[in-house]
Structure 1
């Protein structure tokens, strides 16, 4: 009897395999397709990448919004992404449904390679995130902490005026020094005496490297994590060499800041700071995780605040040199309310509605984060009849929200009056102000928002009270008005420009020269 070429067991296996394949094909064919929001066409492997630009992606997303609407679906290589171009959509999803949208996408470049994995803006949602957020709120978000820091903020604002009086051509450096000095002191208890301060130098290098890396989710390695294992000697691994150098600076910054505070505490010379308060609170159970968390909170406060707040201050100066009428109107209000015998304080804020509107317009005209750090959908959801798949990257386009012509006609113009009520004696109540959304959404909103806002307002109020800001003139005496040009990057800052900053009177100049700093 001849033997069968295929055994009975093999036939059974093949039969089940064919049946499983048929079921899979039929299931995929009959399974209801997800109804995704409209968006541009996709290509194999690339997805929608070919529709985007390398720089200023927020503007490209806004352009796509004119074609597809305020909620756009894209495929970034293999990653599904939804861009929210309107404040309404961001409020509905990221605020009202924050339980579903408080996670972060995997940030391979910024978190895993550079080392921002424990920085609050990039920390994945969970218990550790809640701990960091609670610490930061207690440090810079509570009313008690805000009142505690006021004398230091006033002193730093006075020093800013002194520096602008003595070397006005270096105004960019003075603005940055004001923000850095304020944040250095509250974070590490150290007064900034020189921009060569070791923490400042290390932090500046790490922050600049982070900013130049682009927005989270903008690098190919974020979508193909295997690329992070490329050998650094490969020509195409420049991103990794850049990231690892930034990582060295970041780690040095973390350790230097912590060690300086611990040494000061040991010698009994430590000033009150966020870091010293956390170290004292965890005495007796300070494990490795707690140390890493404390270091990360320090870099979160200093790093997140310097670039965005400095960018807003520089944007204010740029707007004023371009809009002398706005500055004059703010000065007229300042003279009426505050007078000429003192400088403004935070207690004057409610009595200076036009100045408040001016600050709101600074937030709108050039938001610090044009594209907010992407959120991640924790589970499947549905919005306006569209499906939002689990794991989808949600990208709030704050820049597009600040250009919504329903609320902001002539959006590229700097017009503070748009934020005032009909009587001009207070901020408008019939629409949301930019300060309510440029700091983020839902459980991911910046916990240091109130502190950063106070730092910005105080500097702007002091400059308005003390100085005129004018264009430089060319060889023929013609004013040279700088363009409204901004640099690409993670945060948005004006391109370098020139202006003349001069005291409003000899009396004001003499008063600034005698300020106690």
Structure 2
């Protein structure tokens, strides 16, 4: 007798019991946080937008406060719309709120539970963070990668004199080249690099399974036992394809580096080689952790940095007075005989302020990756149930008009005085790189890359609005994409050398 009817009946029974249990809920004395009223059984499923979730979350924050409760098919979700709540919950009570939501779709079926971005909090995730920290976790550890970062940024400057495709593509190629080299010691091919193309596919996997919407199997995990041919079980075929791609992303570049190390090929400093050297004898478990730790750096680490760099170009296009002040600082400190270096950073406070304002004005990740409550808790007088998904609305936090007056205006001077002294305005770093034990382990690398990129391009190029064939100025829309990392929509701009001397300096690169 076929087992399919038994499986289907079992799934249906579990689904009903699970749904009833979630709807009826557990007994508790404190109220849930306020939020929009949902419908019976399905909750706020129809209130959730399909994109730009942070906009709706911000509106809810204005109506219900800085901690908002919603539920989808009985799954509780807590949205934090203020720095006060995010810090109090995710930083100060990180022992409770450092886990990731259980995801049968992304975690189990696709296999992302092994990748730090979605891994449960525990020994494996701590081991991954240890490997990343020893290579990228501190400003000191980043210094050994300065040469690679500067080398690729110099290539980028020179590419802008040629017939490049568009600025976003060139930024992406540059950052990808840096990440592959510092992770695997791998040098990309100039055209159609297959390893880079493979890395880019990770976003196609992460976005649909991490975004704050719910696959039915995430709401009712028992559905993962349905046969793939069953109506409504198409998610299993989707997951199987994603899983194959994910393992290629993880395995291919790692095996290439492992083979080069075995053949004593001389490689630049990179995460995989450093892990092998420090571990000595690498057993099966260590090798598994090393390759998964490396994958999140090279495949997932660059998207937010690329977004920030692209936002910088947009900001300079829209705010020419900011650009002029930054270039005046560079000319005073460095002159026009050389390009900026990392050693100049402490003497360039306005460039430093630009980096902060980029991350605040158009934060690359408008929503913090979701956390999960490890147990029932009372927070600020409200009940937070075990298993609740916690999402910090980074966009709302960094556009709080009380902390950042005129938040929609790009204004680096909010972070630095006319004399170059830092102000008491909150740094956006505490929000845009995450909270508590889930803070981004590559934040120091991102900060270093964005700083030197901004300084170097401003030293030799002017960025302005493009002019059409009809002689009219082309205004950028200023709109952004939705997703885990939000990028500017394509826009035209003019990027030309500041002077003939600047052009000669660019041409002299690598001569």
TM-score normalized with structure 1 length: 0.89
Deviation at 1:195, TM superposition (A): 4.8
Separation (CA, whole Å) in 1 of partners of 2:227 and 2:408: 45
Q: Is the CA contact (8 Å cut-off) linking 2:28 and 2:383 kept in structure 1?
A: no
Of residues 227-236 and 151-160 in structure 1, the stretch that sits farther from structure 2 once superposed is: 227-236
Matched, 1:488 2:482: yes
Helix, strand or coil at the partner of 2:311 = helix
Deviation at 1:308, TM superposition (A): 0.7
Deviation at 1:511, TM superposition (A): 1.3
Paired position in structure 1 for 2:67: 71
Matched, 1:319 2:297: no
Matched, 1:93 2:89: yes
Question: 1:116-155, CA deviations, whole angstroms, 9 ceiling, x for partnerless residues?
Answer: 2111121101111111111111110134421111111111
Paired position in structure 2 for 1:455: 449
Question: 1:19-56, CA deviations, whole angstroms, 9 ceiling, x for partnerless residues?
Answer: xxxxxxxxx99965431111110212211222221111
Matched, 1:110 2:106: yes
Q: Which consecutive residues of structure 1, in runs of 5 or more, have no partner in the other structure?
A: 1-27
Separation (CA, whole Å) in 1 of partners of 2:214 and 2:476: 30
Separation (CA, whole Å) in 2 of partners of 1:346 and 1:74: 46
Deviation at 1:241, TM superposition (A): 4.0
Matched, 1:277 2:271: no
Deviation at 1:250, TM superposition (A): 1.8
Deviation at 1:393, TM superposition (A): 1.1
Helix, strand or coil at the partner of 2:337 = coil
Helix, strand or coil at the partner of 1:58 = helix
Q: Is the CA contact (8 Å cut-off) linking 1:213 and 1:490 kept in structure 2?
A: no
Of residues 273-282 and 303-312 in structure 1, the stretch that sits farther from structure 2 once superposed is: 273-282
Q: Is the CA contact (8 Å cut-off) linking 1:203 and 1:249 kept in structure 2?
A: no
Distance 1:387 1:67, change over 3 A: same
Distance 1:30 1:94, change over 3 A: closer
Of residues 240-249 and 36-45 in structure 1, the stretch that sits farther from structure 2 once superposed is: 240-249
Q: Is the CA contact (8 Å cut-off) linking 2:96 and 2:373 kept in structure 1?
A: yes
Matched, 1:163 2:152: no
Q: Is the CA contact (8 Å cut-off) linking 1:261 and 1:270 kept in structure 2?
A: no
Paired position in structure 2 for 1:20: none
Q: Is the CA contact (8 Å cut-off) linking 1:420 and 1:427 kept in structure 2?
A: yes
Q: 2:421 aligns with which of 422, 426, 449?
A: 426
Q: Is the CA contact (8 Å cut-off) linking 1:213 and 1:489 kept in structure 2?
A: no
Q: Which consecutive residues of structure 2, in runs of 5 or more, have no partner in the other structure?
A: 1-23
Distance 1:130 1:416, change over 3 A: same
Paired position in structure 2 for 1:502: 496
Q: Is the CA contact (8 Å cut-off) linking 2:101 and 2:372 kept in structure 1?
A: yes
Helix, strand or coil at the partner of 2:301 = helix
Helix, strand or coil at the partner of 1:437 = helix
Question: 1:313-372, CA deviations, whole angstroms, 9 ceiling, x for partnerless residues?
Answer: 111111211222221221111111111111111221222121111111110122121111
Of residues 412-421 and 211-220 in structure 1, the stretch that sits farther from structure 2 once superposed is: 211-220
Distance 1:194 1:224, change over 3 A: farther
Separation (CA, whole Å) in 2 of partners of 1:32 and 1:247: 40
Paired position in structure 2 for 1:204: 200
Deviation at 1:93, TM superposition (A): 0.9
Distance 1:234 1:32, change over 3 A: closer
Paired position in structure 1 for 2:15: none
Separation (CA, whole Å) in 2 of partners of 1:257 and 1:286: 19
Q: Is the CA contact (8 Å cut-off) linking 2:276 and 2:282 kept in structure 1?
A: no
Distance 1:239 1:466, change over 3 A: farther
Of residues 209-218 and 147-156 in structure 1, the stretch that sits farther from structure 2 once superposed is: 209-218
Question: 1:439-485, CA deviations, whole angstroms, 9 ceiling, x for partnerless residues?
Answer: 00001001111111101111111111111112222232111111111
Distance 1:214 1:472, change over 3 A: farther
Helix, strand or coil at the partner of 1:493 = coil
Q: Is the CA contact (8 Å cut-off) linking 1:270 and 1:276 kept in structure 2?
A: no
Paired position in structure 1 for 2:12: none
Separation (CA, whole Å) in 1 of partners of 2:463 and 2:139: 34
Separation (CA, whole Å) in 1 of partners of 2:188 and 2:240: 28
Deviation at 1:270, TM superposition (A): 4.1
Distance 1:89 1:516, change over 3 A: same
Q: Is the CA contact (8 Å cut-off) linking 1:100 and 1:378 kept in structure 2?
A: yes
Helix, strand or coil at the partner of 1:414 = coil
User: What is the count of residue pairs matched by the alignment?
Assistant: 487
Matched, 1:333 2:349: no
Matched, 1:302 2:298: yes
Deviation at 1:230, TM superposition (A): 5.2
Distance 1:30 1:250, change over 3 A: closer
Separation (CA, whole Å) in 2 of partners of 1:329 and 1:501: 17
